[in-house]
Every structure is written in C-alpha cells, then in structure tokens.
Amino acid sequence: MPFRLKPTYIVERVTDINLHDLMDDNIKGLIFDLDNTIMPPKTGILPEDIAEWLEIAKLDFKIAILSNNPCSVYVKEAGEKVGCIAIEKAAKPRRKAAVKALKDLDLIPSQVVIIGDRPLTDILVGQRLGLITILVDPIMKQKENRLFKFLRKLERLFVSAPKKSFSDKNDKI
C-alpha cells in the first residue's frame, strides 16, 4: 500500500475552519504554519480576514506558530502580530519543535490542532504526534513559480480524502 496522508480536515482557507466544531471536539489549542497558511510568504503581512479570525480564535484557544522558516526576526515579528508564541527553524516533519509548542501551550496532543499548507511537513508532523490536522490551500498558490506548483501537485498525490468535514453552519466561527 502506498504512503498516504489523511488530514482530519481539508479547507480552502484558515477562515473556513469552524471553531465551534473544534470546541465540540475538546480542542484547546491551535498550532499554525506561518508562510502560505496565515501570511503570504516573506511579506510579514497578515491578511485582514485572517487577522480578524485569529482574534476571535484567541478568545477560546491557545495559539502558536510553528515555522520551518529560518529567519528568527521574521517569525518572532509574525508571532507578535498574532499575539502568540512563534517557533522558527522547526524542521517539520521532525517532532522536536512541535513538542516544544505543545509544552509552551501547556496542552496534550489530543487537545491541539495543527494547521498548514504542506502535507509532507505540517500534516505529517501532526499525525506523528497524534494531533488533529487541517490542510489548507496555500494563500499565494496562483503566484508561485512553476517548480513550487509542481512540488505542491506532487505532494498532494500523497493526500487522501479528509477524515471529517466541518458542519455546514453559516457561522464558521
């Protein structure tokens, strides 16, 4: 049987995540990938709709950023904008930085969701730790160069249909 990743959920954008469904699953923490998940890569700009959604999420969830980006200043500034801890050089799918994020959040794996745009880094580390996983489409997928578009398509070959879908509530929050 070929290697397959099965995210718990697949959504188009972070703002499509239904926070009520996560609360119903006893989720207390959200770990986000940074580039192409909550911010366009290397911009330091948090889109307004995502910023508003994160503010609402912070009312009920502990939040962290876990990024493979090696630029400490960039990742820390992103964490300050969001108002959460931010860990750079995470080396996902390795578990060490994700375990640190869990400790920083003071939560156990069954209480945390990891959200990211890369199946072979974000989703894989989440599955290795027993977290609920949410795969999102990259924010800037139309503006990526051909090599990255090819790699994303290749990566998606390893993704099976999600295990669950969010309820069809009009209010995703």
Q: What is the pLDDT of residues 19-50, one digit of tens each?
A: 999 999 999 999 999 999 999 988 999 999 99
As a whole number, mean pLDDT of residues 77-94 equals: 96
What is the C-alpha to C-alpha distance for residues 39 and 33, in angstroms, rounded to an integer? Answer: 9
In a domain, 168, yes or no: no
The number of domains in the chain is 1
Q: Is the pLDDT of residue 168 over 70?
A: no
In a domain, 163, yes or no: no
In a domain, 133, yes or no: yes
More confident residue, 74 or 157: 74
Residue 1 has a pLDDT of: 38
What is the C-alpha to C-alpha distance for residues 129 and 127, in angstroms, rounded to an integer? Answer: 5
Identify the CATH number of the domain in which residue 134 sits.
3.40.50.1000
Mean pLDDT of the chain: 89
**Both tokens assigned to 24:** 């119903």
Neighbours of 18 (CB within 10 A): 18
In terms of Cα–Cα distance, which of 19, 20, 3, 8 is closest to 134?
8
Residue 30 has a pLDDT of: 98
In terms of Cα–Cα distance, which of 111, 109, 108, 101 is closest to 27?
111
What is the C-alpha to C-alpha distance for residues 124 and 129, in angstroms, rounded to an integer? Answer: 9
- CA-to-CA separations, 124 to 39, 50, 115, 166, 168, in angstroms, rounded: 21, 24, 11, 21, 27
Residue 170 has a pLDDT of: 47
Neighbours of 37 (CB within 10 A): 24
In a domain, 169, yes or no: no
In a domain, 162, yes or no: no
Residue 158 has a pLDDT of: 65
In a domain, 173, yes or no: no
Tell me the pTM: 0.86
Q: Is the pLDDT of residue 55 over 70?
A: yes
| 70 alpha carbon, distance to own chain's centre | 17
In a domain, 35, yes or no: yes
In a domain, 3, yes or no: no
| 104 alpha carbon, distance to own chain's centre | 17
For the CA atoms of 54, 55, 56, 58, the dihedral, rounded to the nearest 10 degrees, stands at 80
Residue 169 has a pLDDT of: 53
Which domain does 149 fall in, by range?
9-156
